[in-house]
Structure 1
């Protein structure tokens, strides 16, 4: 098995869709800081930004197979939707 940090997002999403919790952990580590920074830009609250990011990342579990190669764009779209933008 490849080291998860070396896998492409679409591969991680496939593993996530197959129930691999370690794939979710890798996605979380990969995107957490960037998403919180974006959330903070819109909310001006660290706590609100972190809550939004948690909601978005939990939504990834549900949408894992729908995003495919457009994962980063999918996250951005989810973030805007959750924030009401």
Structure 2
């Protein structure tokens, strides 16, 4: 499920929006002057997306013959996807 809200409305509902993103794994898009400006998502969903990106980029390099065997942590660090 997804919802889009202008920044002024999101500001007034921020706490409940964060809880919805966290607990219901909802994506909440916040707009500024009608244009998407930010998206609230569950932290685990972000980690899953980063892992999928890292794997896809590694497989692309592997297909091109430029990939070498490295740990997942090293791949994430090289791609700038370190978890804080």
TM range (shorter): 0.3 to 0.5
Larger CA Rg, structure 1 vs 2: 2
Task: Identify, as 1 or 2, the structure richer in helix.
Answer: 1
Task: Identify, as 1 or 2, the structure richer in strand.
Answer: 2
Structure with the greater relative contact order (CA < 8 A, sep ≥ 6): 1 or 2? 1
